[in-house]
Amino acid sequence: MAVREQLLRPEADVVYPEERLPWPQTILMGLQHVMAMFGATVLVPLILGFNPNTVIFFSGIATLLFIVITNRQVPSYLGSSFGFLGSVLAIQGGSHGNHDLAFGGIIIAGAVYLLIGIVVQLLGANFIRFLMPPVVTGTVVAVIGIALAQAAWANYKTELVTATITVLAAALASVYLRGFPRMLPVLIGVVVGYVASGVDQLAGGYCATATAGCHINTGAISSAAWLGLPTFSFPPKFDARSFSLFWWIPIILVAENTGHVLAISGIMKRDLSGMLGRTFIGDAVGTIVSGLFGGTGETTYAENIGVMGVTRVFSIWIFIIAAVTAILLGFIPKFGGVVLSIPLSVLGGIELYLFGLIAVIGGKIWVDARVDFSKRANLVVVAIPLILAAGNADLKIGDFEINNLGLGALSAIILWQLLRIGHLREGGTEGSLTGSATPVAVAPLTAPARAANDRPNARRNQPNRNRRR
C-alpha cells in the first residue's frame, strides 16, 4: 500500500496508517510516542536486571519488524512486556541471576506465539473468540497484576516515604493532568520519586546511606560512557525449566494484543480484526529477535494507543521515527546508567501503581463485554485462577515448573473449555470478539481519551491538510 504524503485538511479528523504528515510534524509525533512508551519499557529491564540500552534498542528493532510483517496497516509500538516478569524472575532466582536461561525462555515463548499467530492467520479471528472469550481474557489480564503484587511490595517497603511519593505522583498525574502529559504517569511518577530521593540524599538524609532503598547509585551514571554499542548476550541457553516456565506466556500476549488491535480499530473506525494473525506473528518475531540477543519479550503498548486516541494520527511513519529514536538511544550508555540508578523504593512505588492497574483492567474487560456473573461458569472461570495467582501457587514436577501466573492463565482457559457447553445450555453466551475492544495492557490510561478537555491541542497541533503528490 503506497504511502501518501499529505498536509492536513481542515475537515479531516483522522490521519490513516498509509498517510504521512509533513516531516516536522511526523518527527515531533514520533518523539511523543517515544516519551509515551519510555516509562514502562525501561521499567522492565530495571526489574529484571537486564541492560536498559539493549532492551530499548531491541524495542525499536521489534517495532520495525512488526511494521513490515503487518504490511504497515497496524499502527503500534512494541515495548517490554510485563507478562514475562514472573517467569524471568523465577528462572533467574531474582533480578541478578542467570540471564542466559531467561533469554532462552523468551525465545521459546516467542516460538510458541509464532505458531499461534500462524494458526490464527489460517483459521481467522473466531479461533481466538473460541479459545479466549472476554471472561477468559479479563481473567488472564487480572492474574498478571495479582501474581506480581508480592514483587511490587518487596521493593516498595525498602523505603516507604519515597515509594509513597512515587505512587501518589503517578496517580495524581493520571487523574488531574490533561492532554498528552496525562499519557505519562509512569514517567512522571519515576521522575518525581527520583528527584525526592536525590534531594534527601544531597541533604544528607536517610537516602544518603548506601543501604537505603531510596539511595541513588550515582556510580552507575558516572561510570557510563556517552557513546557505545549496546551489550548483546549470545547465545541464549535452554533447559527444561526455560520451557516449562515460558511456553504458556503467549496466552497473555494474545490477550494483550487482541485488546489492543480491537481498540485501535474502534478509534480509527477501520476493521483490523483480520490482521490479528499478522499482529501475533509480528510481535512473536520481535520477541524472538529480542530474546536472541539479550532483550525482553515484546508486546504492543497501550500508552501509544492513548496518544493515538488524543491526536487521531495513526500514520505508520510516526512509529518508524519512534523506533529509530529508540535504536539510537541504545547507543548511549549514559542513558542506561541513569535508568540503573533508579532507587528500589521508586521502582516499588511505580510497580504498585502499574500492577494494580493491570488487575483492574481485567475487570474493565468484563464490564465492557458485559460478562454475566449470574452464570456459574463465568464465576468459576474467574474465581479459581485469581486465587491461584494471589496464593502464589506453583507446580513443580522434576524439572517441569509453572509459576502462579502460568497456573492462573492456563486454568482460566482449561476451565472455560470444560464448562463451555454447560454454560451455553444455561443460556449463556461466549461474548463478542469486539465486546472486549479495550486496550489490555500494562499501561496507565488504557482507554483512549476522547473527552474534549483531554484534547485541548488536538486541532491546534494539526495544520490544514491539502493533498500533495
Is the bond preceding 185 in cis, omega lying within 30 degrees of 0?
no
| pLDDT at residue 267, rounded to an integer | 84
Q: What are phi and psi of 466, to 5 degrees?
A: -130, 125
Nearest to 311 by CA among 160, 448, 444: 448
| pLDDT at residue 310, rounded to an integer | 76
| Greatest Cα pair distance in the chain | 68
| pLDDT at residue 266, rounded to an integer | 83
Q: Residue 361 belongs to what domain range?
A: 13-443
41 assigned to some structural domain: yes
Distance CA 411, CA 91 (A): 21
Residues facing 20 on adjacent strands: 5
| pLDDT at residue 396, rounded to an integer | 84
Which stretches of the chain score pLDDT less than 70? 1-12, 430-469
pLDDT tens profile 169-183: 999 998 998 877 887
Asked if residue 82 lies in contact with residue 146, where contact means CB atoms within 8 angstroms, the answer is no
184 assigned to some structural domain: yes
124 assigned to some structural domain: yes
**HEC letters along the chain:** CCCEEECCCCCCCCECCCEECCHHHHHHHHHHHHHHHHHHHHHHHHHHCCCHHHHHHHHHHHHHHHHHHCCCCCCCCEEECHHHHHHHHHHHCCCCCCHHHHHHHHHHHHHHHHHHHHHHHHHCCHHHHHHCCHHHHHHHHHHHHHHCHHHHHHHHCCCHHHHHHHHHHHHHHHHHCCCHHHHCHHHHHHHHHHHHHHHHHHCCCHHHCCCCCCCCCHHHHHCCCCCCCCCCCCCCCCCHHHHHCCCCCHHHHHHHHHHHHHHHHHHHCCCCHHHHHHHHHHHHHHHHHHHHHCCCCEEECHHHHHHHHHHCECCHHHHHHHHHHHHHHCCCHHHHHHHHCCCHHHHHHHHHHHHHHHHHHHHHHHHHCCCCCCCHHHHHHHHHHHHHHHCCCCEEECCEEECHHHHHHHHHHHHHHHHHHHHHHCCCCCCCHHHHCCCCCCCCCCCCCCCHHHCCCCCCCCCCCCECC
| pLDDT at residue 441, rounded to an integer | 37
Number of domains in the chain: 1
| pLDDT at residue 290, rounded to an integer | 97
Per-residue burial over 420-435, b = 16 or more CB atoms within 10 Å of its CB, e = otherwise: beebeeeebebbebbb
| pLDDT at residue 263, rounded to an integer | 84
461 assigned to some structural domain: no
457 assigned to some structural domain: no
| pLDDT at residue 39, rounded to an integer | 80
372 assigned to some structural domain: yes
403 assigned to some structural domain: yes
pLDDT tens profile 283-339: 999 999 999 999 999 999 888 887 888 788 999 999 999 999 999 999 999 988 988
Distance CA 223, CA 333 (A): 9
How far is C-alpha 220 from the chain's CA centre?
Answer: 26
| pLDDT at residue 464, rounded to an integer | 44
240 assigned to some structural domain: yes
The x, y and z cell numbers of residue 54, run together, are: 539493549
